Amino acid sequence: MRRHRKQHNNMQNILDPAILFFAFGILAGSFRSNLEIPPAISRFLSLYLLMALGLKGGFALSASGLTTEIAISLGCAILLAVMIPIGGYQLLKRFLSPYDAAAVAATYGSVSAVTFITAVQYLENQNLPYGGHMAAAMALMESPAIVIAVVLANSLRRTATAGPTLSGGAAALGGAPAPAGIGKILHESFTDGAQLLLLGAMAVGLITGEAGKEAMAPFSVDLFKGMLAFFLLDMGLLTARNLGQLRGQSPWLIAYAVLAPIAHAALALGLSAAFGIAAGNATLLMVLAASASYIAVPAVLRYAIPEARPSVYFSMSLGITFPLNILAGIPVYAYVAHRALA
């Protein structure tokens, strides 16, 4: 009976409409269909999802208040956001140019909001509890990897101007781009519209509490599932269009895009076990650690580290890691966290 129920839950996840729309988008894009979501609508959908998620987090925080567990969870999130890009760079520079290594490390050290939102929806579908403060953890984990990558790139440029050309893409003496200012990067990261909307919505939810939750339910609850399905359809189409960039990539990069998320999720699980984080929150921490940015980080890196190749870090995160997490990773992380920590 228990096995039958488990199989039913697994099938329920596979047949989740939002996940099926993502798979349909990949299929339609692979067939080179002219189906597309206008960029303005895609942008609106992403902003809606972040606003609804922020409101949910704020309402939950209003009900629970700031607790020791919340502080520990946020601390672990920041620790992961520093450890993952530093460790990734040390490994990646063995088979990539230093600039590409820094860019890929930043991509995998940051987070994917859509993956996180899909994981939240999965937990709700399975009636598994989690803390609304994990939306704040997502916001905190986005920027450290970008800052670390920019610091590494600036250091490489100073080395390049002081000596001969570095192997793998550094500019020759006198030709290196000016170092990107950390102040500018920090301002870009913390004042990004999507980031501000998430934090602002959390603040609104925290201030208005239960009354705000009831008033906004038609917006932040009733519409959420359909909006997520629509947005994942668009992401499926985008993923299919970028699969071609994976051709010719090093097998080491393909292996990293598959195995690094698993290793990062395992690291998050270990921290959760060590600090007594509840299974639902541990699941979301694993999802955040395992995800890779395909929007915020590439947008910043294009001008902050122009020496790095977008075809490398963008195709890895969007073409491999994102669909892997959406289609298989989330239920696996949830299962492992609840078996290990329940």
DSSP code string of 221-253: IITHHHHHHHHHHHHHHHHHHHGGGGTT--HHH
Helix (H) and strand (E) counts for the chain?
A: 17, 0
pLDDT tens by residue, 252-305: 899 999 999 999 999 999 999 999 999 999 999 999 999 998 877 887 788 788
Q: What is the pLDDT of the chain when averaged over all its residues?
A: 84
Give the pLDDT band of residue 168 (cuts 50, 70, 90).
Answer: very low
Say what the pLDDT of residue 181 is. Answer: 57
pLDDT tens by residue, 133-161: 898 888 888 888 888 888 888 888 887 77
CA 276 to chain centre: 23
Is the pLDDT assigned to residue 15 strictly greater than 90?
A: no
Say what the pLDDT of residue 80 is. Answer: 96
Q: Which residues contact 10 (CB under 8 A, 6 or more apart)?
A: 331
| Residue 236 vs residues 187, 230, 273, 300, 314: alpha-carbon distances, Å | 31, 10, 34, 23, 15
Say what the pLDDT of residue 193 is. Answer: 67
Averaged over 67-74, what is the pLDDT?
90
The rounded percent of the chain whose pLDDT value lies above 90 is 43
Q: Characterise 90 by phi-psi region: left (phi > 0), alpha (psi -120 to 50), beta (else).
A: alpha
Say what the pLDDT of residue 101 is. Answer: 94
Determine if the pTM surpasses 0.85: no
317 within 8 A of 293, measured Cβ to Cβ:
yes
CATH fold of 37-341 = Na+/H+ antiporter like fold (1.20.1530)
Whole-number Å distance between alpha carbons of 310 and 314: 5
Give the pLDDT band of residue 92 (cuts 50, 70, 90).
Answer: very high
DSSP 175: T
Give the pLDDT band of residue 186 (cuts 50, 70, 90).
Answer: low
Say what the pLDDT of residue 6 is. Answer: 47
- Please compute, for residue 168, the number of CA atoms within 13 A of its CA located in the half-sphere on the CB side: 15
